[in-house]
Structure 1
Amino acid sequence: MDDNRLDEVKDVRWESAECSKGEINFTSRRRKSRIKKLLNGLVFVLIAAISGGASGAYVISKKYPNNYSSINQPSLEPKKEVNKVETADIPKNAITKVAEVVGPTVVGISNRAEGFFGLQDLGGGSGIIFDSNGYIVTNNHVVEGAAKVTVKLSSGKTLPATIVGTDSRSDLAVIKVDAQNLPTAKLGDSSKVKVGDIAIAIGNPLGEEFSGSVTAGIVSALNRRIQYAGAIYKVLQTDAAINPGNSGGPLCNEAGEIIGINSLKMGSDQNAEGMGFAISINEAKDIIKSLMDYGKVARPFLGIYGQGVVSEKNNIKGIYVREVVQGSGAALAGVKPTDIILELDGKKVTKFEDLADILDKHKIGDLVVCKIWRSGETIEVNITLSDVREKSK
C-alpha cells in the first residue's frame, strides 16, 4: 500500500474513533441530566415535607397548647397495656382496712368436754382480744360446759385458755390465755350506730378451715329485743352473713371499731336469711368489766318466766306467769303460775321486755310492788329482787 492510501486509512480510523468517542460523551451527559433532575425532585419533596410538618406542629401547638409537648416529645417510659390496672393502683376500701386492722385481734375458740371416749369436741366459735395481756371476750354458749378451751391466734399459734367468767343472760363470757403484748381491738360506741351503716363481721364460720372470714352488709335495725331461753337480748340486726362459728366474733363499723359481738343467727329454724344479730357493745362493756372483776354479773331478777297475754273476755292485758323460779323473790312473795302481772313498780306491763326495762333500773335487794290478776281478783304483792344467779338455789 502506498503512502497516500495509508494516510486515508488512518484518517478513517481516527474519524471512527472520534465518532465513537463523541457518542459515548453524549450518552453520559444525558444520564447526568436525568440524575440531576431526580435529585432536584427529591430535595423538593424533602423540603415540602419538612415545611408541612413544621406548619402542622405550629397549628397544633396553637390549638392544643397543653398537649403539644407530649405530642412532640416521645415518651421514654415503657408503654402500658390499655385498660390494664395494676393491683397496687387500686385504693383500699373500708372493708379492706377493717380486715387488716381488726383481723389480727380475732381468735378461734375450741370447746372440748369429757365424753365416753375422753375429750370430745363440742364445737367452737370466735373471740375478740380486748386486752393485750390475753383477755378475750366471746359468747357464753361458745364455752358453756367446756372441760378444756383452746384458742388459736391469727398467727396460727394455739394456746390453752381459762374461763374468767360467764353470763348466760347476756350470752357473754371472758376467757384468758397466758400471753402478753397481743394486738387488741378498739371498742366503739353503739349509740352512734345508724340504720344503713356499713357492718363488717369477722370470724371462723363453720370451723378453723374458714378462719378469718370477712363478711359485710349494713346495720338493718337497732335495739332489737329478743327473748331467748328466758333472757332478753338487746342486739343490733345486720344482713352481714353470721354463721355458726362467727359467734363471739366482732361486728365492726367502717372505722374498725367494735360495735357489737356476733351471736348465733336467731330464727335459723325458720330458714331466715339476711338476719344476723350482735350484742351491742355498749350493753357488753359493763358486763365484760364485771366478769373480769368478779367472774359474774350481778343483776336483779324477778323470778318468773312468762309471756304477754291479752284476755278479751276480762279485758286484761299483762304478763302471763308460766313458771315461778323456786327460791326467787317472786316465789317468796307468793306469785303463782297462771297469775297475770298487770303492773310492776307502778308501771303497766304488757310484754316480757317491759319487765326487763323496769328491772334494769333497780338493784339487787330493792323492793317493788307487783299488781297481779288472779281468779277474777286484783291483788298486790311486794317482791324483793334477788340475784339472777340465785334463781337455781
Structure 2
Amino acid sequence: MDNKDNYKFNEEIRDALWKNAERGQDIFGEIKFRKNNKRNYFKMFLKVILFMLIAALSGGITANYVISKDKLQENISGDLTQSKLEEKNKDIYSNSISEVTRKVSPTVVGIIVKTSGGEETPEVSGSGIIFKSEGFIITNYHVIENATEIKVKLSNYKVLKAKVIGTDAISDLAVIKVEASNLPVAKLGDSSKVNVGDLSIAIGNPLGEQFSGVVTAGIISALDRKVNIVDKKTGEQTIYKVIQTDATINEGNSGGALCNINGEVIGINSLKIGSATETSGMGFAINTNVAKEIISDLMTYGKVIRPAIGIYGVAAISVGNNGIEGVYVQEVVSGSGAYKAGIMPTDIITQIGGVGVKNMEELSNILDKYKVARSVQCKVQRNGKYKDISIILSELKAAN
C-alpha cells in the first residue's frame, strides 16, 4: 500500500470514528480520558518524588543545623560548667583551711604541766582534742609524762585543772579530763578512707600570749608508715604505724588534731614520733582508727591491755644448711606464759595460732587478735625437731 492509500485509509477511519461519535458513541472521549489518567498519574508520581527529595534535603539541612546548634550549646555549656567547676574547686581549696580551722579549733586545747621539779612550763607542753563534751580529752602521753599537775586552756582562754584517766606509753596516747560540760567536740573520722595526696591540716594550741593557736597545712605523704622509737631509759623499741604528712608538727600542735578537708580528725599529731626521724618536712600522726581502740581501753581500764607470750626475740637466722623462717627466742620472761609452757632460749617459733611468723612484728600482730588469759598454739623448732606448745597469754607490761 502506497502513501496515498495509507492516507485515504486513515481518513476513512477518522470519518468513521466521528460518525460513530455523532451517533452517541463517545469513542474519542473514552480514549482521551485514558490518556489523561496516565499523564496525571505520571505527573502525580513526579510530584511525590520531587516532594520526597525536597523533604529529605530540607530535613537533612534542618537536622544538621539542629545538631550543630546543640553541639555548640553543649560546648558552650560544657565550657561554662568546667569553668564554674574549676572556680568552685578553687574556692573550696582556698576556703577549706580557714573553714576547717573555724570548725575544729574550738575542740583543740592547750596543755600546761607542772613537773616533779616543781616548776610550771612557761609555754604549752602540747595540745589535746576534746572528744566528749563532758570534758574528756585525748593527747600525747609524752605531753603529760612525769606531770604532777596538769592544766588545760580552752579555746575561750578559760583554764581548768585536769586529771589523768589513762595512759599508754607504747602508743604515745593519754586521756585526761576536766570538770566541764557541753564542750565542743571534735569528730573522729575514718582514717582508713585517707589517701596519699589528700589535703591535711594540723591544728594545735601553743597558749602563748601572742597566739591563739597554730595551724599548718600540707598533704598526706604516706599511710601506715613504720617509725621505730627506742626508749632511752629502757632501751625498748616500739614500732609505730602512723600517717605521714608534710604539715609541720611542732611543740604547739603535738597532741593536737590532723584533719581532712571535711574537718574530721584523722590523726593525733605526735612530735615525739616525728622528732625521731630528724628530718624536716616529715610530720607524723597516730591514725584515729587505732586511737579509737586505745581510747576505749583507757576509758575502761586506765591502760591498754595487750596480750603477750613473754619473750624477747628476733627474726630467725639460717641454721645449718636449711633457712628457717620464724622468731628466734633470745630471752624468756620469768613467770610469763612462754616460761610456764616451757619455751626456751634458742627455740624458733615458726607458727602462732596456725599462722606462720617471720619476726616479732608479725607475731605481735597475730597476738593482737587474742585476749589476755586465752590459750594460743605455737609451733616451735628446737634442735632440728618441731613441737606444738600451748601458751597462756599474759598481759604485756609497758615501761611507763
Q: What TM-score do you get using the length of structure 2 for normalisation?
A: 0.67
1:97 — aligned with what? 99
Amino acid in the other structure paired with 2:145: E
8 Å CA contact 2:271, 2:284 repeated in 1: yes
Aligned alpha-carbon RMSD (Å): 2.9
2:177 — aligned with what? 176
Q: Does 1:325 align with 2:327?
A: no
Aligned length, in residue pairs: 301
Residues in 2 aligned to 1:346 and 1:339: alpha-carbon distance in whole angstroms: 17
Runs of 4+ in 1 over 6 A off after TM superposition: 205-209
Amino acid in the other structure paired with 1:291: L
The structure 1 residue matched to 2:112, chosen from 103, 110, 118, is: 110
Residues in 2 aligned to 1:377 and 1:216: alpha-carbon distance in whole angstroms: 56
2:375 — aligned with what? 367
Residues in 2 aligned to 1:211 and 1:338: alpha-carbon distance in whole angstroms: 57
8 Å CA contact 2:142, 2:272 repeated in 1: no
Q: Secondary structure at the match of 1:285?
A: helix
Over 3 Å counting, the alpha-carbon distance change for 1:322 and 1:279 in structure 2 is farther
Q: Does 1:311 align with 2:311?
A: no
How many Å apart are 1:282 and its aligned residue? Answer: 1.1
Structure 1: stretches of 5+ with no match in the other structure: 1-88
2:288 — aligned with what? 281
8 Å CA contact 2:249, 2:274 repeated in 1: no
Q: Secondary structure at the match of 1:187?
A: coil
Q: Secondary structure at the match of 1:94?
A: helix
8 Å CA contact 2:128, 2:255 repeated in 1: yes
How many Å apart are 1:109 and its aligned residue? Answer: 1.3
8 Å CA contact 1:207, 1:245 repeated in 2: no
Please give the residue correspondences for 1:230-241 in structure 2 after superposition, counting only pairs within 5 Å.
Answer: 230-241=237-248
Residues in 1 aligned to 2:389 and 2:208: alpha-carbon distance in whole angstroms: 50
1:248 — aligned with what? 255
Residues in 2 aligned to 1:104 and 1:232: alpha-carbon distance in whole angstroms: 32
Residues in 2 aligned to 1:290 and 1:267: alpha-carbon distance in whole angstroms: 25
How many Å apart are 1:186 and its aligned residue? Answer: 1.0
8 Å CA contact 1:242, 1:265 repeated in 2: no
Residues in 2 aligned to 1:190 and 1:270: alpha-carbon distance in whole angstroms: 22
Deviations 1:45-95 (A, max 9, x none): xxxxxxxxxxxxxxxxxxxxxxxxxxxxxxxxxxxxxxxxxxxx9995111
1:215 — aligned with what? 216
Residues in 2 aligned to 1:366 and 1:321: alpha-carbon distance in whole angstroms: 21
Please give the residue correspondences for 1:149-168 in structure 2 after superposition, counting only pairs within 5 Å.
Answer: 149-168=150-169
Amino acid in the other structure paired with 1:212: G
The structure 2 residue matched to 1:350, chosen from 332, 354, 358, is: 358
Structure 2: stretches of 5+ with no match in the other structure: 1-90, 230-235
Residues in 1 aligned to 2:93 and 2:378: alpha-carbon distance in whole angstroms: 60
Range moving further from structure 2, 360-369 or 194-203: 360-369
Deviations 1:319-365 (A, max 9, x none): 23344333322232233444432221221111322112211221112
2:189 — aligned with what? 188
8 Å CA contact 2:227, 2:273 repeated in 1: no
Over 3 Å counting, the alpha-carbon distance change for 1:92 and 1:180 in structure 2 is farther
How many Å apart are 1:167 and its aligned residue? Answer: 2.0
Deviations 1:99-138 (A, max 9, x none): 11111111111232322xx345497211001111111001
Residues in 2 aligned to 1:185 and 1:292: alpha-carbon distance in whole angstroms: 17
Amino acid in the other structure paired with 2:374: D
Deviations 1:278-320 (A, max 9, x none): 1111111122123223322323222233333443754122223
Over 3 Å counting, the alpha-carbon distance change for 1:323 and 1:211 in structure 2 is farther
8 Å CA contact 1:201, 1:215 repeated in 2: yes
Residues in 2 aligned to 1:266 and 1:298: alpha-carbon distance in whole angstroms: 22
Q: Secondary structure at the match of 1:260?
A: strand
Over 3 Å counting, the alpha-carbon distance change for 1:267 and 1:249 in structure 2 is closer
Over 3 Å counting, the alpha-carbon distance change for 1:91 and 1:242 in structure 2 is closer
Over 3 Å counting, the alpha-carbon distance change for 1:234 and 1:263 in structure 2 is same
